[in-house]
């Protein structure tokens, strides 16, 4: 049997978490070391996975399959392909750097790192599971640690935000469970295998597909989040501690988008084609509405949270286009948004740790006192608003290009979102970094080395992909073309 | 099989009765709860060891009154599990005195025997008698804290409702006798397929029997006794009545309705599906505002019965498997939760959910265990409760009971709120000023240890049944009727 690489990536964090459970709680140094080692090893293995990945191969690689519940034909089935590899790497990357970013947490560290590592296992498992039952288990496992992480270490309204997050996402996912069951019982022989269902799902009656699609949609759309299911996001983001915000924006939202790529679209392709127009409309609403709401925010974190809503709209638009370009754009946008917004949340956290406020109107002129911070914030902001040469531009452009071939008017409206985005981001820069220095912050210190260390790799990726997008397209494009051929979309 | 020949297949029940009587007598001289409890556990162990022998019986025992099939074996194992855990939990319950430990354990073992007989009853009269025995001893156990007026009130309420319900059930059985001339279930089910029977009259009879069993399983609208009885009863007994009689009630429902009266299935399944939906919805909605954890768990157990009923309405092999798995999971997680409540109430002298504030700091292990059991009750994977729900929902989808499945999942979302509310107090809230400090109970270290053993068993079960349900599903599918 070959080395179970994927299993190791998923369960290394959990193993670390179990070790932490048996560590005395006052030995915080050991606890941090275990957590860092566990996420670090997972990152190293994920990097090895990327290096060993065969880009031209459209099938599942590193597949592992063991019977789990044979009576129901449920298997422990893992695999990685061009669609998931980027997200797996992103999760491992953010998992490691957000872990280092967690060193600032001083309360109840043992519980924190245990839950944090459990969360990592859940997220990695979600992206690697190829059995719908296993996928659902990982998907739900994510909820519980997230509830505690927001609820215990969060801001003033943490309890409300935590339970809202829990109930919202659970409400969506139980309908997904019903759709999963319906898929299982309509397949012959009964199976939860996503790959086999992708082959047989197209034969289902269209009306039935539509119902199942809606079931999955509720789960995925709430996670993305798609308007009007987005209201949990600003609450959760604002209240969550910085590293958790990073994972929320960087990884959790991607679980929804990934679900469309891996489950809804390949298995229920007739329904996907049927719902393309609503997808595009919702995408445009997300982009424009999210941007407008972001502009109105005075809370730095809330602004970034709404910018996520706006950016995830491009994923929806790219998906709706049913073109290779659009799909590539959507998938890449998920990766890029994870990197950029993850970085943005880290930067918000840096400022909040020093100023203990996130009110944009209370800052001003910080650029003079924090030059390195100012530089980093500006670069990340420019990436987020889609400046050419940085990664955000490439994926948004590709999504729009794909969208334009399918839905001209909607795409034209969506482009407006970019202008508004530029508006609120530049307005933010102006209020935080420029202008006369607010006297309250005259002795604020610049960003420290540890914080730069967490941001640097994200910036390298951001610039690297922006200059040379094939870095990521090489990995995902063959799988995307394969998927489009399978659905019957446009090979553009 | 004649009475004399049957006896040798009846050894587990006999040995348990022997232990019950012995513990009653021993209790006169030996007033040590832990010792007597351990003695009872020995009795259960002996009964477990005798089980394989008793399943060699090829034909019904005692002239057709009892039948030892794999289905009844499953439920007898469940009875052993329930009683074993309840005995362990009882050892560490503060409010019990050592004075009447003998009587208490006698009642527990006797109710175990009654439940075992109920599980293998093959005749409506036998079912009635066994259930009545279970009920009578449950009433006494609920009112066991003689000096606590709430316990007496709970016992009385439970008794009044129960007496009515069993009366109604007996009335229904008399209809069956009038229609078929016998109460033997095998004969009745043969007549159902071979002769023309009066559907309307049999439906009325079944409805009346259903009413009696609904009381045992705490289905709406026969649930009114639950909150008061659960709150007033000694906590280990609350745990018991939430698990034992409920499991046996469902076992009898399956045997009578799904096996012997299956030809009439279309006529009653619709009605029961309405009961299922109302039961889970009412249980969940009423649980939301509860401030006492025992009341909350009481309403939650009503809701859980509603989910189990989904498998019953579907009535397929998968549906029954789902019910049986769910019952097993429910017993482990519910007894686990009540075990935690016992230990916590020993420390803070209260069952009020609000006073659980900050418990995770004072008692991290206990808070963690309770959180696991509650999350399992809420149906979060990979815990046992999730797979139980998964199976009953799967059964509903398989047989196209979509409304039932949707009602089930919406209810599981509703339920999250109140389960997580307890977790919120334990983990998210700080201990409030002026609240009783958590004190390590001083009365009996051995008793506390016993509860902890029970909790470890329950935790291991919840994790094993959640992570490796395949093993349990295999066992259950070999135990189907």
pLDDT in tens, A138-191: 999 999 999 999 999 988 888 899 999 999 999 999 999 999 999 999 988 899
Q: For residues A206 and A160, is the Cβ–Cβ distance under 8 A?
A: no
Q: What is the domain extent for residue B94?
A: 1-166+218-256
State how far the Cα of A254 lies from the Cα of A336, in Å rounded to an integer. Answer: 11
State how far the Cα of B133 lies from the Cα of B58, in Å rounded to an integer. Answer: 27
SS3 content of chain B, % helix, strand, coil (to 5): 80, 0, 20
From B195, B229, B256, give the residue that closes a domain.
B256
pLDDT digits (tens, 9 = 90+) for A30-83: 999 999 999 999 999 999 999 998 888 888 889 899 999 988 899 999 999 989
Same structural domain, B324 and B445: yes
pLDDT digits (tens, 9 = 90+) for B255-279: 998 888 877 777 788 888 999 999 9
State how far the Cα of B351 lies from the Cα of B263, in Å rounded to an integer. Answer: 47
State how far the Cα of A127 lies from the Cα of A119, in Å rounded to an integer. Answer: 13
Give one word for A135, left, alpha or beta, with left for phi > 0 and alpha for psi -120 to 50.
alpha
A111 interfaces chain B, CB cutoff of 8 Å? yes
The count of CB pairs under 8 A between chains A and B is 76
pLDDT digits (tens, 9 = 90+) for B64-85: 888 888 899 999 999 999 999 9
From B231, B256, B281, give the residue that closes a domain.
B256
Same structural domain, B63 and B129: yes
pLDDT grade for B438, boundaries at 50, 70 and 90: low
Q: Taken in order A311, A312, A317, A323, is the CA torsion positive or negative? A: positive
Distance from CA of A287 to the nearest CA of B (A): 30
Distance from CA of B423 to the nearest CA of A (A): 9
Same structural domain, B302 and B374: yes
Same structural domain, B336 and B467: yes
Q: For residues A151 and A215, is the Cβ–Cβ distance under 8 A?
A: no
Q: What are phi and psi of A76, to 5 degrees?
A: -85, 95
Mean per-residue pLDDT, B385-403: 93
Residue A1 burial class via C-beta count within 10 angstroms: exposed 0-12, middle 13-18, buried 19 and up: exposed
* Residue B202 domain-assigned (yes or no): no
Nearest to B61 by CA among B19, B133, B17, B11: B11
Task: Return residues 324-383 of B near A (CB < 8 Å).
Answer: 360, 375, 380-382
pTM: 0.94
pLDDT grade for B242, boundaries at 50, 70 and 90: very high
State how far the Cα of A91 lies from the Cα of A344, in Å rounded to an integer. Answer: 16
Whether A93 shows a pLDDT value over 80: the answer reads yes
Mean per-residue pLDDT, A203-231: 90
Nearest to B300 by CA among B193, B355, B375, B365: B375
* Residue B194 domain-assigned (yes or no): no
Confidence at residue B52, expressed as pLDDT on a 0 to 100 scale:
82
Nearest to A221 by CA among A209, A205, A232, A236: A232
Nearest to B135 by CA among B232, B229, B21: B229
Mutation target among B317, B420, B430 for the A interface, most CBs of A within 10 A: B420
Q: What are phi and psi of B197, to 5 degrees?
A: -115, 155
Same structural domain, B377 and B451: yes
A162 interfaces chain B, CB cutoff of 8 Å? yes
Distance from CA of A392 to the nearest CA of B (A): 36
Max avg pLDDT among A368-377, B39-48, B341-350: B39-48
Distance from CA of B392 to the nearest CA of A (A): 11
pLDDT digits (tens, 9 = 90+) for B163-197: 999 999 999 999 999 988 888 888 888 888 887 78
* Residue B336 domain-assigned (yes or no): yes
Residues of chain A with pLDDT > 90, as a percent, come to 57
Tokens 């902001």: give the residue: A381
From B232, B256, B280, give the residue that closes a domain.
B256
Same structural domain, B363 and B440: yes
Q: Which residues make Cβ contacts (< 8 Å) with residue A468, sequence separation at least 6?
A: none
State how far the Cα of A262 lies from the Cα of A255, in Å rounded to an integer. Answer: 10
Give the SS3 label for residue A65.
strand
Asked if A170's CB is within 8 angstroms of B416's CB, the reply is: yes
pLDDT digits (tens, 9 = 90+) for A415-450: 998 999 999 999 999 888 888 887 787 788 888 888
Mutation target among B307, B373, B381, B470 for the A interface, most CBs of A within 10 A: B381
Partners of residue A74 on adjacent β-strands: A69
A192 interfaces chain B, CB cutoff of 8 Å? no
Asked if A151's CB is within 8 angstroms of B381's CB, the reply is: no
Confidence at residue A491, expressed as pLDDT on a 0 to 100 scale:
77
**Rounded to 5°, angle at Cα A382 from A377 and A384:** 95
Nearest to A289 by CA among A223, A216, A233: A233
Same structural domain, B406 and B431: yes
State how far the Cα of A353 lies from the Cα of B375, in Å rounded to an integer. Answer: 34
A182 interfaces chain B, CB cutoff of 8 Å? yes
ipTM comes to 0.92
pLDDT grade for A467, boundaries at 50, 70 and 90: very high
Give the SS3 label for residue A121.
helix
Same structural domain, B249 and B277: no
Distance from CA of B397 to the nearest CA of A (A): 6
Six-digit token string for B26: 């021993």
The helix or strand, by DSSP H or E, that contains position A436, with its residue range, turns out to be none
Same structural domain, B461 and B343: yes
pLDDT digits (tens, 9 = 90+) for A284-339: 999 999 999 999 988 889 999 999 999 999 999 999 999 999 999 999 999 999 99
B399 interfaces chain A, CB cutoff of 8 Å? no
Same structural domain, B274 and B224: no
- Residues composing chain B: 481
* Residue B152 domain-assigned (yes or no): yes
Mean per-residue pLDDT, A381-394: 90
Same structural domain, B361 and B446: yes
Same structural domain, B239 and B321: no
Mean per-residue pLDDT, A261-273: 91
Asked if B397's CB is within 8 angstroms of A182's CB, the reply is: yes
pLDDT digits (tens, 9 = 90+) for B82-134: 999 999 999 988 878 778 888 999 999 999 999 999 999 989 999 999 999 99
Q: What is the tally of structural domains in chain B?
A: 2
Confidence at residue B345, expressed as pLDDT on a 0 to 100 scale:
87
DSSP string, A286-301: HHHHHHHHHHT--BHH
């Amino acid at each position: 049997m070959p080395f179970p690489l994927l299993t190791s990536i998923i369960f290394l964090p959990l193993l670390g978490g179990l070790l932490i459970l048996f560590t005395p709680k006052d030995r915080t140094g050991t606890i941090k070391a275990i957590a860092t080692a566990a996420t670090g090893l997972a990152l190293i293995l994920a990097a090895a996975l990327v290096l060993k990945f065969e880009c031209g191969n459209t099938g599942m690689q590193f597949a592992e399959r063991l019977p789990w519940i044979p009576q129901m034909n449920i298997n422990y089935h893992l695999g990685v392909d061009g669609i998931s590899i980027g997200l797996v790497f992103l999760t491992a990357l953010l998992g490691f750097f957000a872990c280092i970013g967690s060193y600032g947490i001083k309360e109840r560290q043992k519980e924190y790192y245990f839950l944090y590592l459990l969360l990592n296992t859940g997220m990695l498992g979600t992206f690697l599971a190829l059995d719908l039952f296993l996928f659902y288990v990982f998907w739900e496992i994510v909820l519980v640690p997230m509830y505690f992480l927001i609820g215990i270490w969060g801001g003033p309204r943490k309890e409300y935000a935590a339970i809202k997050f829990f109930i919202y996402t659970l409400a969506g996912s139980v309908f997904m469970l019903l759709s999963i069951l319906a898929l299982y019982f309509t397949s012959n022989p009964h199976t939860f295998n996503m790959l086999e269902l992708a082959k047989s799902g197209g034969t289902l009656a269209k009306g039935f597909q539509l119902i199942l699609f809606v079931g999955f949609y509720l789960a995925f759309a709430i996670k993305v989040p798609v308007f009007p299911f987005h209201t949990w996001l600003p609450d959760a983001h604002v209240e969550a501690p910085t590293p958790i915000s990073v994972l929320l924006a960087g990884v959790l939202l991607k679980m929804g988008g990934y679900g469309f790529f891996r489950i809804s679209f390949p298995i229920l392709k007739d329904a996907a084609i049927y719902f393309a127009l609503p997808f595009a409309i919702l995408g445009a609403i997300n982009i424009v509405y999210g941007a407008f709401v972001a502009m109105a925010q005075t809370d730095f974190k809330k602004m970034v949270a709404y910018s996520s809503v706006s950016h995830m709209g491009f994923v929806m638009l790219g998906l709706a286009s049913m073109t290779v370009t659009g799909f590539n754009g959507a998938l890449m946008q998920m990766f890029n948004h994870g990197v950029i917004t993850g970085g943005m949340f880290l930067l918000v956290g840096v400022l909040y740790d020093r100023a203990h406020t996130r009110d944009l109107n209370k800052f001003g002129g910080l650029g003079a006192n924090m030059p390195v911070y100012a530089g980093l914030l500006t670069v990340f902001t420019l990436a987020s608003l889609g400046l050419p040469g940085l990664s955000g531009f490439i994926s948004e452009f590709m999504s729009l290009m794909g969208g334009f071939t399918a839905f001209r008017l909607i795409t034209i409206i969506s482009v407006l979102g970019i202008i508004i985005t530029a508006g609120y981001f530049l307005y933010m820069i102006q209020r935080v970094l420029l202008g006369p220095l607010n006297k309250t912050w005259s002795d604020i210190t610049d960003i420290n080395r540890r914080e730069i260390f967490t941001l640097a790799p994200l910036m390298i990726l951001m610039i690297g992909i922006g200059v040379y997008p094939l870095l990521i397209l090489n990995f995902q494009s063959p799988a995307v073309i394969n998927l489009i051929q399978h659905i019957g979309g446009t090979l553009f | 099989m004649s009475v004399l020949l049957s006896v040798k297949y009846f050894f587990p029940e006999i040995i348990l009765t022997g232990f019950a009587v012995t513990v009653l007598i021993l209790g006169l001289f030996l007033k040590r709860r832990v010792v007597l409890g351990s003695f009872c556990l020995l009795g259960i162990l002996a009964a477990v060891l005798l089980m394989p022998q008793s399943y060699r019986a090829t034909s019904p025992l005692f002239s057709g009154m009892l039948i030892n099939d794999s289905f009844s074996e499953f439920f007898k194992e469940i009875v052993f599990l329930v009683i074993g855990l309840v005995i362990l939990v009882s050892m560490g319950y503060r409010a019990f005195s050592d004075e009447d430990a003998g009587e208490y354990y006698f009642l527990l073992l006797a109710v175990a025997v009654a439940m075992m007989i109920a599980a293998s009853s093959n005749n409506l009269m036998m079912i009635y008698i066994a259930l009545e025995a279970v009920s009578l001893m449950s009433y006494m156990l609920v009112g066991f804290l003689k000096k606590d007026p709430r316990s007496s009130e709970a016992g009385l309420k439970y008794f009044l409702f129960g007496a009515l319900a069993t009366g109604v059930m007996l009335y229904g059985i008399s209809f069956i006798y009038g229609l078929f001339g016998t109460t033997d279930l095998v004969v009745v089910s043969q007549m159902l397929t071979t002769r023309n029977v009066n559907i309307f009259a049999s439906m009325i009879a079944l409805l009346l029997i259903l009413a009696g069993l609904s009381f045992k399983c705490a289905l709406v609208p026969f649930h009114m006794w639950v909150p008061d009885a659960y709150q007033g009863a000694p906590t280990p007994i609350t745990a018991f009545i939430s698990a034992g009689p409920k499991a046996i009630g469902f076992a009898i429902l399956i045997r009578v309705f799904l096996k012997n009266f299956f030809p009439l299935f279309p006529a009653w399944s619709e009605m029961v599906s309405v009961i299922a939906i109302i039961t889970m919805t009412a249980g969940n909605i009423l649980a939301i505002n509860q401030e006492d954890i025992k009341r909350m768990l009481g309403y939650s157990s009503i809701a859980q019965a509603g989910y189990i009923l989904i498998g019953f309405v579907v009535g397929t092999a998968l549906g029954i498997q789902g019910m049986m798995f769910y019952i097993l999971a429910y017993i482990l997680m519910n007894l686990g939760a009540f075990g935690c409540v016992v230990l916590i109430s020993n420390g803070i002298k209260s069952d009020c959910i609000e006073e659980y504030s900050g418990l995770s700091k004072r008692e991290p292990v206990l808070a963690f265990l309770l959180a696991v059991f509650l999350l399992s009750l809420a149906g979060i994977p990979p815990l046992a409760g999730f797979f139980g729900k998964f199976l009953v929902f799967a059964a509903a989808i398989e047989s196209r009971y979509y409304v039932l499945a949707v009602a089930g999942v919406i209810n599981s979302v509703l339920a999250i709120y109140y389960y997580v509310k307890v977790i919120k107090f334990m983990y998210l809230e700080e201990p409030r000023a002026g609240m009783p400090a958590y004190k390590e109970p001083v009365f009996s270290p051995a008793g506390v240890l016993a509860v902890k053993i029970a909790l470890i068993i329950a935790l291991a079960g919840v994790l094993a049944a959640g992570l490796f349900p395949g093993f349990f599903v295999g066992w259950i599918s070999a135990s189907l009727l």
